[in-house]
Amino acid sequence: MTKLSVNVNKVAHLRNTRHMEVPSVTWAARTALDAGAVGVTVHPRPDERHIREYDVYAIQEVLKETAYAGREYNIEGNPFEGKYIELVTTVKPDQCTLVPDDPGAFTSNAGWKVSENRERLIEVIGDLKKHCGRVSLFMDADPDEIRLAKEVGADRVELYTEPYADAWGTDEQDNVLRRFIEASKAAQKAGLGLNAGHDLNLDNLGYLIQHIPWLDEVSIGHALIADALQTGLKESVKAYLNICNRFTG
Ligand SMILES: CC(=O)[C@@H](O)[C@H](O)COP(=O)(O)O
Ligand SMILES: NCC(=O)COP(=O)(O)O
């Protein structure tokens, strides 16, 4: 069954526009977990535009609570920039998702070119595996690069789904989906777990899961938090969970 990890970056974004803890990032994490999310995702960027160092530790404390036993912490970031390594080797999350973002990236906009980063990825993944449960690489839907992800030691890959979201509702929709299915089969054949994320929403999520039912996890933030402005966060999480549950056994 495809699990949902809720990314709370955007709650932190709003919180940072005033000097008060409103809205609370830990409240959002708890609400998402109480609604049934498998876990919480954060992306502590070097400029701390949204998730700040203290948020990372505060969410760790939430996930230590008995009520959330078995839920997962997914921390995203570029291991070669900022304080990512320091944070994850201290917090020891269930999953480290490595993303090749430049420090000033507007948002995540590409997957790893493993072919151009083999040696340093082998080293950093080997180190991270001593501190976290799984290492996932944020990847474009490129079967060749995905096969290399296995070779450098990744446990999972996360398909960067912005191209899929951009094609949604256009004539290119099914051509792009086919690329993602091919990439997903390459991950499956390589023995990699499969995650997906970026710009997934209530409109495009079901079709993706329906065609890639072996998807282990989606991490969703931007659209889910935007939807929550209309429905409330608990109902927004439940709406995404309903889609995850509907299309997988
Ligand atoms: C890696 C990815 O696609 C997202 O998880 C990322 O966290 C989005 O970053 P922003 O929330 O800063 O746009
Ligand atoms: N890895 C994707 C993620 O955590 C959230 O991406 P988005 O839903 O905010 O685009």
The rounded distance, in Å, linking the Cα atoms of 21 and 86 is: 24
Q: Tell me, in angstroms, the distance from the centre of ligand 2 to residue 4's CA.
A: 11
Q: Whose CA is nearest to atom 6 of ligand 1?
A: 108
The rounded distance, in Å, linking the Cα atoms of 96 and 79 is: 9
pLDDT tens digits, 65-96? 999 999 999 999 999 999 999 999 999 999 99
Res 247: pLDDT: 79
Q: Residues 136, 156: contact at Cβ < 8 Å?
A: yes
The ligand 2 atom nearest the CA atom of 41: 4
**Domain range for 112:** 3-246
Would you call 244 helix, strand, or coil by DSSP? helix
Pocket lining: 112 vs ligand 1, CB cutoff 6 Å: no
Pocket lining: 150 vs ligand 2, CB cutoff 6 Å: no
The rounded distance, in Å, linking the Cα atoms of 100 and 110 is: 7
Q: Whose CA is nearest to atom 6 of ligand 2?
A: 198
pLDDT tens digits, 182-215? 999 999 999 999 999 999 999 999 999 999 999 9
Residue 17: pLDDT band by 50, 70, 90 thresholds? very high
Pocket lining: 101 vs ligand 1, CB cutoff 6 Å: no
pLDDT tens digits, 122-164? 999 999 999 999 999 999 999 999 999 999 999 999 999 999 9
Pocket lining: 43 vs ligand 1, CB cutoff 6 Å: yes
Q: In total, how many domains does the chain have?
A: 1
Half-sphere exposure of 248 (CA within 13 A, CB side): 21
Q: Tell me, in angstroms, the distance from the centre of ligand 1 to residue 213's CA.
A: 23
The rounded distance, in Å, linking the Cα atoms of 222 and 201 is: 8
Q: Residues 151, 108: contact at Cβ < 8 Å?
A: no
Query: CATH number of the domain that 125 lies in?
Result: 3.20.20.70
| Arithmetic mean of pLDDT, 1-12 | 98
- The catalytic residue positions are 43, 76, 198
